[in-house]
């Protein structure tokens, strides 16, 4: 069997195992479903009254940001899942098998795409209920969902690498949050970046979470008509800028994670 087919086959076996786990541990499902809903409702009704979007509705504006934020948060699962598997010893089993070693990490990031599809679907339905609308074409909407999932996939490789470095799943939850909070909040997810103070504004403008959010809003047609063209290149070409980040992140972190997993200390 050639190496690629071997990796795909083993990766599918690992991914199937990870998906089974989701169906057996109700807590995971609850957090995948409930926490996005809470975020959506919370932001829509708590901040919705105080944040003004010129010429548009905050709820329409908000949903793209909630999508991006939740997908980044969910990437912690990837790292925590790997860390848990190491802690419980199942990784030693995998490492003693004549399987493709990279399949363990590829299988994990692949199965996490499935959570993300599920979580996007639930958020979309909830978004429609609170007044979000897809105003663009079907093709644009599909592109938006695909870009969000691709971005989430890239971030989950970062978390995969961290998950293989840390000693326990608890650590990744904390370490992950330290990165994820600033990344998702210092962005145009919930409030327009124009109102941010100096350095925070620059960070937010070049933050890929901002560009993926902006891209989603553009593609869904959620930006108010006549809203001004943004200054930075990253936000004028959000799709391209996001894709660049995706390529860089996967290009760096996938080899790092695979090497970390297959190394023999």
Partner 1 sequence: MPTFDPPIPLPILEQPMTRSTDGVTANGLHKSYGDVQALAGLDLAVPEGTVLGLLGPNGAGKTTAVSILSTLLRADAGTATVAGFDVGTEPVQVRKHIGLSGQFAAVDEYLTGFENLEMVGRLYHLGKKVARSRARELLERFSLVDAGDRQVSTYSGGMRRRLDLAAALVAEPSVIFLDEPTTGLDPRSRNELWEVIEELVTKGSTVLLTTQYMEEAERLADDIIVIDHGREIAHGTADELKQIVGGDRIEVVVRNFTDVDAVKAILRRAAVGDDIRSEARRVAAPVTGGAETLARVLQELAAAEIDVLDIGLRRPTLDDVFLTLTGSTTVGISTPAELEVAS
- Positions touching partner 1 (CB under 8 A) are 1, 6, 9-10, 13, 16-17, 20-21, 24-25, 88-90, 92-99, 264-265
CB of 63 to partner 1, least distance (A): 33
CB nearer to partner 1: pick between 81 and 238: 81
CB of 88 to partner 1, least distance (A): 7
The tokens of 112 are what?
A: 């996490």
CB nearer to partner 1: pick between 9 and 221: 9
Alpha-carbon distance of 26 to 250, in angstroms, equals: 30
Task: Give 43's DSSP letter.
Answer: I
Helix (H) / strand (E) element for 55: namely none
55 Rama sector, left if φ>0, alpha if ψ -120 to 50, beta otherwise = left
CB nearer to partner 1: pick between 97 and 146: 97
CB of 18 to partner 1, least distance (A): 9
CB of 169 to partner 1, least distance (A): 14
Helix (H) / strand (E) element for 54: namely none
For the chain, the residue count is 265
Residues 6 or more apart whose CB falls under 8 angstroms from that of 161 comprise: 79, 253, 256, 257, 260
CB nearer to partner 1: pick between 50 and 96: 96
CB nearer to partner 1: pick between 71 and 86: 86
CB nearer to partner 1: pick between 59 and 108: 108
CB of 26 to partner 1, least distance (A): 12
**Strand ranges inside 32-124, DSSP E:** none
CB of 250 to partner 1, least distance (A): 25
User: CA separation (Å) from 121 to 24, 117, 124, 153, 187?
Assistant: 21, 6, 5, 16, 23
Alpha-carbon distance of 120 to 132, in angstroms, equals: 14
How far apart are the two ends of the chain, measured CA to CA in Å?
28
């Amino acid at each position: 069997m050639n190496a690629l087919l071997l990796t795909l086959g083993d990766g599918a076996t690992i991914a199937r195992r990870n998906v089974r786990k989701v169906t057996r541990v109700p807590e995971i499902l609850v957090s995948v479903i409930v926490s996005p809903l809470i975020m959506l409702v919370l932001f829509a009704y708590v901040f919705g009254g105080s944040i003004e979007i010129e010429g548009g509705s905050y709820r329409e504006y908000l949903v793209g940001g909630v999508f991006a934020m939740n997908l980044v948060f969910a990437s912690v699962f990837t790292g925590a899942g790997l860390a848990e598997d190491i802690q419980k010893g199942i990784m030693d089993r995998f490492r003693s098998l004549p399987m493709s070693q990279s399949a363990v990490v590829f299988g994990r990031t692949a199965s996490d795409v499935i959570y993300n599809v599920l979580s996007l679907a639930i958020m979309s339905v909830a978004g429609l209920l609170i007044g979000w609308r897809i105003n663009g074409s079907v093709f644009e909407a599909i592109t938006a969902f695909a870009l969000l999932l691709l971005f989430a996939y890239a971030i989950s490789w970062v978390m995969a690498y961290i998950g293989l470095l840390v000693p326990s799943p608890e650590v990744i939850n904390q370490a992950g949050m330290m990165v994820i909070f600033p990344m998702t909040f210092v962005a145009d997810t919930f409030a327009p970046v124009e109102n941010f103070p100096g350095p925070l504004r620059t960070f937010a403008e070049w933050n890929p979470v901002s560009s993926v959010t902006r891209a989603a809003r553009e593609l869904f047609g959620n930006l108010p008509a006549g809203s001004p063209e943004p200054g930075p290149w990253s936000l004028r070409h959000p799709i391209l800028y996001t894709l660049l980040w995706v390529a860089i992140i996967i290009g760096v972190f996938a080899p790092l994670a695979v090497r970390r997993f297959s190394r023999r200390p």
